[in-house]
Structure 1
Amino acid sequence: MKNILITGGAGFIGSNLALALIEKGYKISVLDNLSPQIHGENPDQTSPLYISIKDKVNFIKGTVTSRSDWEKALKNQDVIVHFAAETGTGQSMYCIEKYVEVNIQGTAIMLDILANKEHQVKRIVIASSRSIYGEGKYIHPELGAVYPNHRVEEDMLAGDFEVKFNGIGNLRLVATDEESKIHPSSVYGITKQNQEQMTMTVCPTIGIKPVAFRYQNVYGPGQSLSNPYTGILSIFSTQIRNNNEIQIFEDGLETRDFVFIDDVVAATILGIEKEEASGHVFNVGTGVPIDVLEVANSLIKAYKIDVPVTVTGRFRIGDIRHNFADLTKIKKRLGFEPKVYFNEGIKRFSAWVLEQEIQEDKLSLSLEEMKSKGLLK
């Protein structure tokens, strides 16, 4: 299985994976539409990720919503790594048709072609997301493991941001395993759930071995510093370097599992190469929750720029409170161990950021857009 197609392969994860696979001797094709939101208006000059791969891969500029682009890209491929997607929970709540078209319809076209035309694809790795879980897994003092529904807006307006289960708030957060309840709280999460389920359901019926990775919050050198819709580390970094105040949502104690790009690439390669991955879904993270205040303060320290941090109490509809990965399955089945934890990852990420040009801080524009849609309170 030497020929690998990476959709969205000019993006953050895709380009890093492409370069790593080329070093291992694979022949890589990339299908990517070079979205201006990610790559800028002139990718040949404004997209380091695209520049890093364009002369090393068979690059196909196209979109996963086009059957003809898929048919061109699928020729002679042994493996598909399907990363191409609209990303970001907030934006998905008002760009609904776009997210469904790209994420769900794009995946459906791929599977439809594979189900009805000749091909040599033997394996598909689908990029799922921790967002499909919605809120994470908790232990109830009487009921044991529970999966709380989305938080109530009235509670959050009153400054009560913690999750509750049947009105009970005394819950203990634990790691979310792959058997946890699937109940996404955003359109983005719904589309990633659909992508995963379609792939894992259809592939075995047509002789293709599927693998799904539920990635946590991926970060590291190379991620977009200009996209105000995704990537809290990038957003905070741009604010700090512009000497702008960091405004923290909720009470700043909401947590995420931040996983370094090198570890994500390593896990994904295991999914491509190991037979033990076939037919399984895996969490990819570090298994360590980090709160947003710690993120902000760590970046301020790393850049040595003292900007004010304000905990605003504002919140976005669709945001979850906590989620971090249980890695038991991927460690046992694939031998994956994260090697770069948050303190080291922040050092590497911030060192890279300081080598880049300072980007315009566009966060306020994205927040005004969300506010106008009733999604920012």
Structure 2
Amino acid sequence: MENKTCLVTGGAGFIGCAISSRLADRFDRVVAVDNLHPQIHPRAERPVALDPRVEFMVRDVTNPDHWSEILNFIQPHVVVHLAAETGTGQSLTEATRHASVNVVGTTLMLDALSQYQIFPEAILLTSSRAVYGEGAWRRRDGEGTIYPGQRTRAQLERGEWDFPGLQPMPFTAGVTEPRPTSVYGATKLAQEYVLGAWCLSFNVKPIILRLQNVYGPGQSLINPYTGIVSLFCRLAREGKSIPVYEDGAIVRDFVFIDDVAAAIDRALAHSSHLPLGRIPYDVGSGEPVTIAEVADWISKRYGASSPHVNGAFRYGDVRHAACTIERTVKDLGWAPAWSLYRGLEALVEWIEVQLQPK
């Protein structure tokens, strides 16, 4: 792209830093904005991992005055909207915080763009697999599919992890109905709908990527609500037995950070050819794995005590979360390049470097 500018919200975060060099290669000017929240950033300073070609502003998407400052500084041709609160469990007790950032932060951005009469060519939103909730489950007797919804408190307390007579199905955007079971998931789905309505009204192309569980080098090591993979690594590194929730058979689709960065890059590269509609793209490995399997590999890698199933659970969490990626591969010309265990090894090596005495 020539003479093109890109604005990245939440640009100092895990994904923002990972995509910064690709964006700097693709656009003539890239500006990242981030509020450097202390839950993620131990020091309120520009991250070292952010490409030096990217301009950086400390601003908050929930502050309307900051949006005026941002849009006086850059008039973007493309917006990559990463800014979000992401803790599934945390969102149950800090719902206002999640709604403020994820929903109101998005509406403030759109209001500011309207006020300044800036209508980008595209806005790319990183959404979440959490919008699906438990998704669709197939009846084991072959009599169709149903949406079982959120597991109840009583069900979880009885240790009834699955839905009797049902078999989980992978998520597929445009096929699987989004029915979030967490406050976080509900705010991300609201983000999708708000963005889609605004974009299609002003002829701006909405690109929505529903990310599975992202992991890899660069992930926060201080955020208590960060991904479980880095948490497992920290525990095993200390020789501790990794606690595995429920019965260990929780299923997730872990996608490596470099594959996510590549998916965002390909989506931007193909933006002019993508349909104007709002059908999202699923971004994952396409390979479901149980939490117990991941914990076992990490424990063995560190020579730590074997994981232990503790029967604990989180309200609003889902039992099975994995996706199909065929449409994403076809439309974006993208495919995941990292296997899970290659990615885990890269994460372990990065953590060792980060935790070495300075």
Distance 1:83 1:148, change over 3 A: same
Amino acid at match of 1:73: I
Deviation at 1:308, TM superposition (A): 4.0
1:51 is matched with 48
Is 1:271 paired with 2:267? yes
Look up the SS of the partner of 1:269 in the other structure: helix
Deviation at 1:118, TM superposition (A): 1.8
Provide the C-alpha distance between the structure 2 equivalents of 1:145 and 1:354, rounded to a whole number of angstroms. 45
Give TM-score scaled by structure 1 length: 0.88
Deviation at 1:158, TM superposition (A): 2.1
Provide the C-alpha distance between the structure 2 equivalents of 1:124 and 1:33, rounded to a whole number of angstroms. 20
Provide the C-alpha distance between the structure 1 equivalents of 2:350 and 2:144, rounded to a whole number of angstroms. 44
Residue identity over aligned pairs, in percent, reads 38
Is 1:68 paired with 2:65? yes
Contact in 2 for aligned 1:5/1:73 (Cα 8 Å): no
Which of 34, 38, 41 pairs up with 1:39?
Answer: 41
Is 1:11 paired with 2:13? yes
Contact in 2 for aligned 1:43/1:51 (Cα 8 Å): no
Equivalent residues in 2 for 1:157-176, closer than 5 Å: 157-162=157-162, 164=163, 169-176=164-171
Contact in 1 for aligned 2:135/2:179 (Cα 8 Å): no
2:208 is matched with 212
- The Cα RMSD (Å) is 1.8
Give TM-score scaled by structure 2 length: 0.92
Q: Deviations over 1:297-355 (max 9, x none)?
A: 1111222x322422111111011000101112112222221111212111211121121
Provide the C-alpha distance between the structure 2 equivalents of 1:347 and 1:63, rounded to a whole number of angstroms. 35
1:98 is matched with 97
Deviation at 1:155, TM superposition (A): 2.6
Which of 344, 350, 353 pairs up with 1:352?
Answer: 350
Distance 1:25 1:126, change over 3 A: closer
Q: Deviations over 1:353-375 (max 9, x none)?
A: 1212179xxxxxxxxxxxxxxxx
Q: Deviations over 1:137-192 (max 9, x none)?
A: 32112432322211122232222211x2xxxx122222210121111111100100
Find runs of 4+ consecutive structure 1 residues off by over 6 angstroms.
none
Contact in 1 for aligned 2:135/2:178 (Cα 8 Å): no
- Which structure 2 residue ranges, 5 or more long, are not aligned? none
Deviation at 1:119, TM superposition (A): 1.7
Contact in 2 for aligned 1:276/1:334 (Cα 8 Å): no
Provide the C-alpha distance between the structure 2 equivalents of 1:300 and 1:312, rounded to a whole number of angstroms. 16
Equivalent residues in 2 for 1:188-207, closer than 5 Å: 188-207=184-203
2:31 is matched with 29
1:143 is matched with 143
Contact in 1 for aligned 2:6/2:27 (Cα 8 Å): no
Look up the SS of the partner of 1:4 in the other structure: strand
Is 1:247 paired with 2:243? yes
1:367 is matched with none
Contact in 1 for aligned 2:232/2:242 (Cα 8 Å): yes
Provide the C-alpha distance between the structure 1 equivalents of 2:23 and 2:301, rounded to a whole number of angstroms. 31
Q: Deviations over 1:37-72 (max 9, x none)?
A: 1011x244xx7xx12227431111010001122232
Contact in 1 for aligned 2:119/2:204 (Cα 8 Å): no
Q: Deviations over 1:168-227 (max 9, x none)?
A: x12222221012111111110010000111111110111211110000000111111111
- Which structure 1 residue ranges, 5 or more long, are not aligned? 360-377
